[in-house]
Amino acid sequence: MSTTADYVLKHQPNDFIVREVSRPPVEACGDYSYAELEKCGLTTLEALTLIASHLGIPEADVSAAGLKDEDAVTRQTVSLRADYTEPFRIGLGPQTWLRVSAPVGRYDRHLEKGALLGNDFWLVIRGLSADAAERLWHRGGSRGQFRQYVVNYFDRQRFGIPGSNYRTADVGFALLAGDVRRAAAVLHEDTSEAVARGGLIPSEQARFIQDVDAGMDSLAAFDRISSRLRLFFAASSLSRDWNLQTAQAVAATGHLLPLYDDGHPLAGCLGLTGPQALASLPAGFPLQEPIALPRQDAPAMTMRATWRPTITATKIFLIDRGPDECFPGRHKLQVFFNLPSGSYATAAVHQMIAATMTTSPADRPTADAGAARAA
């Protein structure tokens, strides 16, 4: 049974628009061109591979600061170690394409992972009941905005591919244990099931399946997977550990809001029903980030220690509401908000709706009332 109102995200690409807010590089002329990448229907990793192939340069010479959704229209900065002057477009289908702008500057270093401040989101939330749409709209008061605190979970994009069983964390767990053959077996099983269900399979996983099914040894086929993707698998496992640790801390507060049903990658994770929990929840937890694969002189994966906050706050701006033309008899809501780097809009939306629908309107202050108390 669902713990929140029914709703639909990403029904069509323009329902989910993301713009990266980048951290500007140090101004210096160099070998790296910086440009804007706009894409749809592709992961960032796939887009970087396509760009490198188009320009005839190694994949290592194309980089981005963060990963953006494939089921969306996204814009982000990329760095290219290439001499090119004109914008270009690569089209793989009506809703699968990328565009790279002309260079906006040249710098002496590539764009490093994490070199961004956050992301802006313009979303259309579809399939809402009239009551859910009204409750969400009411929270904005006359100013059409409200503050939302969100448990900062890694969401489903971190744990799988569309149509899969979301087992990238299991692949990564095997890699971190040094069991590459087990990692290959899990990836083959998961991706094969996704193919059988008609899921959209990223190109590297599709090639891996084709290689193994054609008789190539699974270790050799897995070795053909890019280092970026293998590091992503390892990061997925560590992100799952972080989610479980955070869910335990949330449970200890006693102010619980169940978030996800069985079958979801975050099933068992919890939200907060009141501000009391904020004071008792740890500010954050350490997190390990894989940055380099094992080598002969370094048999273990190279890790970097980081820190991730347990709570992120955002201000939700309500843009418009009305009947949903895609789901007759239902309603849609258009919103805008910003999240810091590494936070997930899908998790924020789910917790926003869950919190709204489990709190009586009479018990919930409006934005105007909150402002009056603050004054």
pLDDT along the chain (375 residues), means of 10: 72 96 76 94 90 92 90 94 93 93 90 88 97 95 93 87 70 94 93 77 84 94 91 93 94 84 78 78 94 84 94 95 97 97 92 83 43 31
DSSP codes joined into one string, 45-109: HHHHHHHHHHHT--GGGEEESS---SSSEEEEEEEE-S---S-EEEEEETTEEEEEPSPSEEESS
pLDDT of residue 279: 80
Which is the catalytic residue, given 15, 31, 69, 83? 69
Of 140, 132, 137, give the one whose Cα is nearest residue 368.
140
* Annotated catalytic residue 217: no
pLDDT of residue 4: 60
- pTM, entire model: 0.85
Of 10, 115, 132, 3, give the one whose Cα is nearest residue 63.
115
Q: In the chain, at which residue ranges do the beta strands (DSSP E only) sit?
A: 16-22, 32-40, 62-64, 73-80, 88-93, 96-100, 105-107, 116-128, 145-151, 256-258, 270-272, 284-292, 302-309, 311-323, 331-340
pLDDT of residue 3: 47
Q: In 81-200, at which residue ranges do the beta strands (DSSP E only) sit?
A: 88-93, 96-100, 105-107, 116-128, 145-151
pLDDT of residue 119: 96
pLDDT of residue 375: 29
